[in-house]
């Protein structure tokens, strides 16, 4: 019995000293809360996509890009992007064609169905964010957004 208490105490100390004070972990908790609500709303709407596919739809909703450009924008490796693109192509959400000027490049575009889905998902994401952020006052929301934007902008200069 004493061993169990020691283990719990050890974990509690680890949690307090190592994890709960981690900036990365706290950002992850915020992201997880928003994604959890977004996933629930998507499930309610019958949308069955993997989380790593969402950024591709959102990016492609603005502009067709090459696979390499998608890889660069999402900071994912080419094989991971290719798997996501293949999956989205099978669902008739994206179309892949050879670049007319450079045959080595594949250009990825949303289909009409993919564009409609991207707009629906964007709406669900806004709704999820509103629901998650509803625990904050309007002033706290503005302060949080400004702080996170400030940190993100600063970190992008690294």
Give, as one character, the DSSP assignment of residue 136.
S
pLDDT tens sequence across 23-43: 888 888 888 888 888 888 889
β-sheet bridge partners, residue 130: none
Q: How many residues does the chain have?
A: 158
Q: How many domains does the chain have?
A: 1
Q: Which domain holds residue 106?
A: 2-155
Q: Band the pLDDT of 87: cuts 50, 70, 90.
A: very high
Query: Domain containing 85 — which CATH number?
Result: 1.10.10.10
Look at residue 111 in the predicted model and tell me its pLDDT: 97
Distance, CA of 136 to CA of 153 (rounded, Å): 23
| 114, two tokens | 């993919």
pLDDT tens sequence across 57-69: 999 999 999 999 9
Residue carrying structure tokens 């996933």: 39
Q: What average pLDDT does the chain have?
A: 87
Give, as one character, the DSSP assignment of residue 84.
H
């Amino acid at each position: 019995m004493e061993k169990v208490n020691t283990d719990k105490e050890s974990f509690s100390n680890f949690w307090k000293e190592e994890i709960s004070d981690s900036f990365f972990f706290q950002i992850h908790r915020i992201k997880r809360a928003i994604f959890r609500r977004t996933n629930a709303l998507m499930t309610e709407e019958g949308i069955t996509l993997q989380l790593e596919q969402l950024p591709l739809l959102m990016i492609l909703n603005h502009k067709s890009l090459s696979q390499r450009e998608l890889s660069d924008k999402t900071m994912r490796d080419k094989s991971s992007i290719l798997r996501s693109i293949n999956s989205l192509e099978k669902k008739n959400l994206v179309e892949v064609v050879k670049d007319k000027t450079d045959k080595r490049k594949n250009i990825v575009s949303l289909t009409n169905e993919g564009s409609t889905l991207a707009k629906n998902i964007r709406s669900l994401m806004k709704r999820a964010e509103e629901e998650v952020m509803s625990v904050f006052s309007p002033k706290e929301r503005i302060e949080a957004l400004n702080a996170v934007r400030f940190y993100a902008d600063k970190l992008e200069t690294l």
